[in-house]
Structure 1
């Protein structure tokens, strides 16, 4: 009887040690995450909250008045309901931006998936994969503006493409739609953002067990059947992540639209940039909030397709 309390004390002490160690590890994890959390709060959450607040301010004759009014949102959609079923300027601009985003998304998905598939399944050695992957990043060693300006001597009326087409007899006159057009805008988007689609897809493909590919071939599946039933389902997380990258960047891009569109094509990012240049901060903030809502809906729809946290 006298030995029982003595035996119980070590057990209690040994039981307390793991709990305190767990609390210490959690405290250390919180301290490690604190710098990033502070930066996230200062440079993302706080500016976002300020944008939402400013969207409700009053704007008159270049004077901002802190107030709660819906005038900016009314101005954004002014006359749109009355003109239905015709589209107002605001709806047309948003649809134009969505069209650019979808065209860029489809193009980058096809190119990014093809390049990632080649690197993952047809390049056997890791050093060669890394070398080719590094080659894909070469355009990113210069700024976006330089890469866009580089298209001007290629696609202009007297550019290399038009001269080549006329030299081989495919065209009799220069093609005006190659530059400063919607085609040029989408081409620049594909040039700038294909890597953002390719990297997540390549990461997903690199994690696929090659035994699954061999099993599908042994079962008599063709190359297309293996691609559709094995590779693509296992690459869904990478496809969704790459799609989020491309869609969110393209939806807010205004520099590419301005340069490659010759300042003649409208997008919601361009509208916000012009409103900011005229110091119309409340209506620009209102447009930014509406654009943010549309982008968040797109991200929500994509994440409904795949549980990224579970798949990763």
Structure 2
């Protein structure tokens, strides 16, 4: 028998349940609607507040509809303009639809799909009987049989991805030149996503004498200029450069800029200052705070990796930021 509000008469009132009717999924009690869920959608009830229940929602979403977020806890955001369907299994039945901008947590992934989790609130009258066996999508479908459901959960750090059993080739750009190969089960930091591609940051050590250097000990790539890489864009893709740039402004890439991810942040700069060629410097989401205080016309010593020597729209070099140093004492 249900108590008022649609919850079963268990002592705790917590556990697995299914929606008795189609219902809104809200960020807070009676707050912003972040999803619309279908009748029968499984949910895990984790709390109650008056006539609202707090629930954990899990399901699968298409990888291309998610991008890396800058939130410190929820690491992905729905990026499709019309939102995206949530499914019980990859290519399975639709559980509901999450709106654009909804933040979610990545649980795990399969090729083309990501299992996500989000906590929110539902009107209690729309929640069916609560059972005593918490079991949501990640615990009932595609789970490693060697893992015990009652054992301690292990979670990947937010913003990281694990390399599969066959390892992974790391490219300078999607379909670009090979830079390295990651060993199986390596944890790599994810700085951006587009479709099935993820941009990763890899840190490690290499034997210095094997690095090509000039006579004064500087890496040879410091002699390149933006004009050099623009003349032979394919030849210099993936090359690490170190340039003195004058910061102009911080921008977000429009969809027409096909060399960027849509809305990807970048710095508009000039090489060497006034009159020099323009350079676009992409900024990973986790480093936006570092560039927030930059002042127009100040100089930076930027180390980056060439994404392309000549962007399709303007022919301007694009480099991915690796590090930078402000030169406040220069005009």
Place the TM-score, normalised by the shorter chain, in its bin.
Answer: under 0.3
Superposition TM-score, scaled by structure 1 size:
0.22
Larger radius of gyration: 1
Query: Hey, which of these two has a bigger chunk of strand by percent?
Result: 2
Superposition TM-score, scaled by structure 2 size:
0.21
Query: Hey, which of these two has a bigger chunk of helix by percent?
Result: 1
